[in-house]
Amino acid sequence: MTIELRRPVHDPIVLDDPERLSFRVDRRAYTDEDLAARELTRIFDRCWLYVGHESEVPAPGSYVARDVGGRPVVMARGSDGVIRVFANSCPHRGALVCSQPAGQVRSFRCPYHDWTFSNQGDLVGVPIPDGYGPGFRKADFGLARHQSDSYRGFVFVTFDPQQPRTLTEYLAGATEYLDLVDDQSAAGMEVIRGAQLHGAQANWKLMMENSVDIYHFRALHKRYVGYMESLGSVPPRRRGGFGRALGLGHGANELPPAAARPLAYWTPMFGPEVRPRIEATAARFVERFGPERAQRITGTNRALLIFPNLMIIDAIAITIRKIDPVGAGRMAITSVALAPRDEDPDIRELRKSHYLTFLGPAGFATPDDIEIIESCQRGYLNRAVRYSDLSRGMNKEVPETTDELPAREFWRQWDRLMHGDDGHHEPGRRAGAQGAGPR
């Protein structure tokens, strides 16, 4: 890789100029294949990356197999109840040990030569073992295990053997928002079975920016706004709420009051029959958390970006969206819905319906988002305009949701890591600092 030679230090990608209230990103960041390859080693091999939710492996032997940071992995709950993340690659000659996306097993059997591994990763069986000498020890050929940890049910993995941070340190101010998600049920939250796997012909960072961008909501999603209004609900306002930089590239937007939440914020679009129960649930939240925190948990819309590639959109329903690069100009998107475990069946149906209507890949909003970021990617082909502008809100003490503070936080961390910087934070933009100053 000769990227340093092609891109000398005087030719930066991110131009961050707080004095001029200017923040620009060179569009090569979205189109350059060398940069895309470098992101895998500088970012995805160094950060903590989201793998899945503990509820996806509820019983001993249950597992999910998916790609994380470009690497196939298996997240499995062993017979001992412990969740582990393994490399999905046979220690013998490399085949995927697990080819199903999810299931429940006592052992994993590699289809190539039938080596068998326990659901705790130990090699337990090798056909025709007399072909190996006395130095062959099964203990040396278990599934490679990655360092993993979880926070409030969200499981992350890191491929960095020198990872300097614990998961909680890495999540920085984002823990506050994961708490707001997980506090939505005393019985725990669970991923609703099934995932939506889709993609876009655009750079992965465009989707990260888009998912935390409220500025576009009324402009781009006019059909959905019209749909909400036709059902008697009030779409999110143009002004208000606030954006936050949560440290280490994480950011959030928070918009009270919520447009609607099947959990505990009734609006007419849900229909009158569920109103008493949704309002009773809201009252229970007030008893449990007090009025202020209850309002924050149940009565706001939030978009949380966890660097580099996890979005949790906690709006009309909760979606967990994992976005993975496929070269510079493509991405893979995995979306699942999260819900309270103890939700009434008909409220669950309501949630699923609104999840699909708004956030699903064939809903009112997501196709608009995919189409517009693909349009941006196409626009970059005309190289006459070199930079994209992300300066909205740099002139404010506390930027609003329609400003671009969370995206700037993302890009600042991207820039630090791409330069090999460890990513420690500057004063004034520390983890959890609300509003994060005038930048």
Nearest to 363 by CA among 206, 236, 224: 224
In the bound state, the residue with its beta carbon closest to Fe ion is 369
Kindly tell me which residue out of 86, 108, 115, 358 binds ligand FES, with binding defined by CB under 6 A: 115
Strands 318-325 and 310-314: antiparallel
Residue 30 CB, nearest approach to Fe ion (Å): 18
Residue 143 CB, nearest approach to ligand FES (Å): 11
Place of tokens 């092609």: 6
Show contacts of 297-300: CB within 8 Å, 24+ apart.
297/180, 297/183, 297/184, 297/264, 298/184, 298/258, 298/261, 298/263, 298/264, 298/265, 299/256, 299/257, 299/258, 299/261, 299/264, 299/265, 300/241, 300/254, 300/255, 300/256, 300/257, 300/258
Q: Is 95 in the site for ligand FES (CB under 6 A)?
A: yes
Kindly tell me which residue out of 6, 93, 106, 378 binds ligand FES, with binding defined by CB under 6 A: 93
What single DSSP character describes residue 40?
Answer: I
Select the span of 89-97, 160-168, 356-364, 416-424 touching ligand FES (CB under 6 A): 89-97
Residue 100 CB, nearest approach to ligand FES (Å): 16
The partner in contact with residue 115, picked from Fe ion, ligand FES, none with C-beta cut-offs of 5 to 8 angstroms by kind, is: ligand FES
Structure tokens at 310: 């996890």
Distance CA 419, CA 23 (A): 18
List residues binding Fe ion (CB under 5 A): 369
The partner in contact with residue 110, picked from ligand FES, Fe ion, none with C-beta cut-offs of 5 to 8 angstroms by kind, is: ligand FES
The partner in contact with residue 369, picked from ligand FES, Fe ion, none with C-beta cut-offs of 5 to 8 angstroms by kind, is: Fe ion
Distance CA 148, CA 285 (A): 32
What single DSSP character describes residue 138?
Answer: G
Nearest to 376 by CA among 111, 141, 368, 231: 368
Residue 221 CB, nearest approach to Fe ion (Å): 6
Binding mask 341-370 for ligand FES (x = CB under 6 A): ------------------------------
Nearer to Fe ion, 211 or 298 (CB): 211
Phi-psi region of 42 (alpha: psi -120 to 50; beta: other; left: phi over 0): alpha
Q: Are 73 and 367 in contact (CB under 8 A)?
A: no
Q: Is 90 in the site for ligand FES (CB under 6 A)?
A: yes
The partner in contact with residue 56, picked from Fe ion, ligand FES, none with C-beta cut-offs of 5 to 8 angstroms by kind, is: none
Residue 86 CB, nearest approach to ligand FES (Å): 13
Nearer to ligand FES, 118 or 158 (CB): 118
Q: Are 313 and 303 in contact (CB under 8 A)?
A: yes
Q: Is 125 in the site for ligand FES (CB under 6 A)?
A: no
Nearest to 421 by CA among 5, 2, 12, 6: 12
Nearer to ligand FES, 110 or 323 (CB): 110
Radius of gyration of the chain (CA): 23
Residue 210 CB, nearest approach to Fe ion (Å): 6
Structure tokens at 223: 């059909």
Nearer to ligand FES, 143 or 206 (CB): 143
Residues 6+ apart with CB under 8 A from 190: 53, 55, 338, 339, 340, 341
Residue 97 CB, nearest approach to ligand FES (Å): 7
Kindly tell me which residue out of 110, 312, 320, 418 binds ligand FES, with binding defined by CB under 6 A: 110
Place of tokens 């017979």: 79
The partner in contact with residue 93, picked from Fe ion, ligand FES, none with C-beta cut-offs of 5 to 8 angstroms by kind, is: ligand FES
Nearer to ligand FES, 88 or 184 (CB): 88
Q: Is 92 in the site for ligand FES (CB under 6 A)?
A: yes
Residue 295 CB, nearest approach to Fe ion (Å): 25
Distance CA 221, CA 211 (A): 13
| N-term to C-term CA, the chain | 34
Q: Are 175 and 199 in contact (CB under 8 A)?
A: no
Q: Is 112 in the site for ligand FES (CB under 6 A)?
A: yes
Select the span of 105-113, 295-303, 331-339, 421-429 touching ligand FES (CB under 6 A): 105-113
Nearest to 142 by CA among 86, 100, 182, 201: 86
Select the span of 29-37, 85-93, 160-168, 233-241 touching ligand FES (CB under 6 A): 85-93
Select the span of 42-50, 91-99, 146-154, 334-342 touching ligand FES (CB under 6 A): 91-99
Total binding residues toward ligand FES, as defined by CB under 6 A:
9
Q: Is 113 in the site for ligand FES (CB under 6 A)?
A: yes
Binding site residues, ligand FES, CB under 6 A: 90, 92-95, 110, 112-113, 115
